[in-house]
């Protein structure tokens, strides 16, 4: 698989991991990949939060990567493929980078250490050690409401000096911090939002795109938003977003990716909405609301 060229941009999909009877559902995974091969996405991320990566064992992560890479190759698809990683043990993560060195991935999305809440100096050294452990591109993942620690702008800018730290998935939930980062970042350092409900605002402020679970559905419409904004057509962009804004609310009304898996199951893209504990299936009221939204989409198509 060819390496990604240039910093990440556009619409990236943090692919769900389909399960059936406790195992990775290979048939559904292949169906998903065939479907998204025809969609205007700019990159794929495996085994991240939406992919329930923390519930996958090492063998399953390898299986997921190999199946995905094979399907992309068979379909003649050359989009970059990143592997999601997280952990609070720097040496163990460095060992994971070494173990996956020959895997067919183009880069990594690496979240801040969770629970341990290191200082900014600790974060700088943590990500610096990981950058030293691989020659592949790394996207930082800043999501303090999950990890308990925030990568501040000064630390991000220091890390951006490293040639293989190419961007960040920004879920800081702090608009002022996001704006400051966009103003101060190097030209070749990408900022992609991971906040689905804030996608429009992030693009208006100058973000390079998004890593959006919601873009599993209405993918073309999500992908069309950034080109419209870049063209300067603010009215059309506002109208496009108005048609999409309720989707993120539905898909995050209960912990992700359970609502999303229900939607994909109802549309026949996966054979089961199964999630792994501690995630649970969605309640009947949300299921009915999603079913109504799917029906509306079919009527409007």
pLDDT at 1 over 70: no
How confident is the model over 206-215, as a mean pLDDT? 98
pLDDT at residue 4 above 60?
Answer: no
Give the percent of the chain with pLDDT over 70: 98
Residue range of the domain that includes 99: 10-242
Does a structural domain hold residue 284?
no
Instruction: Determine contact, residues 53/78, Cβ cutoff 8 Å.
Output: no
Based on the number of CB atoms within 10 Å of its own CB, is 179 exposed (0-12), middle (13-18) or buried (19 or more)? middle
Catalytic residue among 36, 82, 108, 169: 169
**Environment class of 236 (CB within 10 Å of its CB; exposed 0-12, middle 13-18, buried 19+):** middle
Q: Which helix (DSSP H) or strand (DSSP E) does residue 274 occupy?
A: none
User: Are 257 and 45 contacting, i.e. CB atoms less than 8 angstroms apart?
Assistant: no
Looking at the domain assignment, is residue 233 inside a domain? Answer: yes
Look at residue 3 and tell me whether its pLDDT is greater than 60.
no
Does residue 65 form part of some domain?
yes
pLDDT tens string 220-274: 999 999 999 999 999 999 999 999 999 999 999 999 999 999 999 999 999 999 9
- The reported pLDDT for the residue numbered 70 is 96
Looking at every residue in the chain, the average pLDDT score rounds to 96
Local structure of 10: helix, strand or coil: strand
Buried b (16+ CB within 10 A) or exposed e, 151-178: bbbebbeebbeeeebbbbbbbbebeebb
- Rounded to whole angstroms, the Cα distance separating 266 from 45 reads 23
Domain count for the chain? 1
Contact (CB, 8 A) for 186 and 223: no
Average pLDDT, integer, range 32-36:
97
Is residue 110 over pLDDT 90? yes
Q: What are the angstrom distances between the C-alpha of 38 and each of 75, 169, 214?
A: 10, 24, 17
Portion of the chain with pLDDT greater than 90, in percent: 95
Whether the per-residue pLDDT at 2 is higher than 60: the answer is no
Q: Is residue 265 part of a domain?
A: no
Locate 123 and state its tokens: 């974060």
List CB contacts of 193: < 8 A, sequence separation 6 or more.
169, 170, 171, 178, 199, 202, 203, 207, 209, 210, 211, 212
CATH of the domain at 177: 3.20.20.70
pLDDT at 68 over 50: yes
Helix, strand or coil, per DSSP, at residue 249: helix
112 belongs to a structural domain = yes
Q: Is residue 132 part of a domain?
A: yes
Establish if 146 belongs to a structural domain: yes
Which residue is catalytic, options 82, 141, 200, 261? 141
* 249 labelled catalytic: no
Give the pLDDT confidence of 133-174 residue by residue, as tens digits.
Answer: 999 999 999 999 999 999 999 999 999 999 999 999 999 999
CA angle in degrees (0–180, nearest 5) for 59-63-28: 130
Strands 19-20 and 23-24: antiparallel
pLDDT of residue 105 exceeding 80, the answer is yes
Tell whether 276 is covered by a domain. Answer: no
In the three-class reduction of DSSP (H, G, I as helix; E, B as strand; rest coil), residue 23 is classed as: strand
């Amino acid at each position: 698989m060819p390496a990604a060229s240039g910093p990440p941009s556009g619409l990236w999909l943090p692919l769900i991991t389909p399960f059936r009877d406790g195992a990775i559902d290979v048939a559904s995974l292949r169906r998903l990949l065939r479907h998204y091969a025809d969609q205007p996405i700019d990159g794929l991320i495996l085994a991240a939060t939406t992919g329930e990566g923390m519930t996958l064992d090492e063998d399953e992560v390898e299986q997921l990567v190999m199946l995905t890479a094979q399907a992309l190759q068979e379909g003649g698809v050359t989009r970059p493929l990143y592997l999601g990683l997280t952990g609070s043990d720097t040496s163990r993560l460095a060992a994971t980078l070494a173990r996956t060195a020959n895997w067919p991935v183009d880069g990594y999305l690496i979240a801040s250490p969770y629970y341990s809440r290191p200082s900014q100096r600790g974060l700088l050294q943590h990500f610096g050690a990981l950058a030293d452990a691989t020659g592949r591109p790394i996207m930082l993942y800043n999501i303090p409401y999950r990890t308990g620690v925030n990568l501040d702008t000064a630390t991000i800018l220091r890390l951006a000096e490293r040639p293989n730290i190419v961007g960040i998935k920004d879920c800081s939930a702090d608009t002022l911090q996001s704006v400051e980062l966009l103003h101060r970042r190097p030209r070749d350092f990408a900022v992609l939002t991971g906040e689905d409900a804030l996608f429009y605002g992030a693009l208006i402020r100058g973000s390079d795109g998004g890593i959006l679970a919601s873009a599993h559905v209405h993918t073309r419409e999500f992908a069309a938003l950034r080109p419209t904004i870049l063209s300067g057509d603010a009215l059309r962009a506002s109208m496009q977003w108005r048609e999409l804004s309720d989707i993120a609310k539905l898909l995050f009304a209960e912990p992700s990716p359970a609502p999303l898996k229900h939607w994909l199951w109802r549309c026949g893209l996966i054979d089961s909405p199964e999630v792994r504990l501690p995630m649970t299936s969605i309640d009947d009221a949300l299921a009915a609301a999603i079913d109504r939204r799917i029906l509306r989409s079919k009527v409007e198509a």
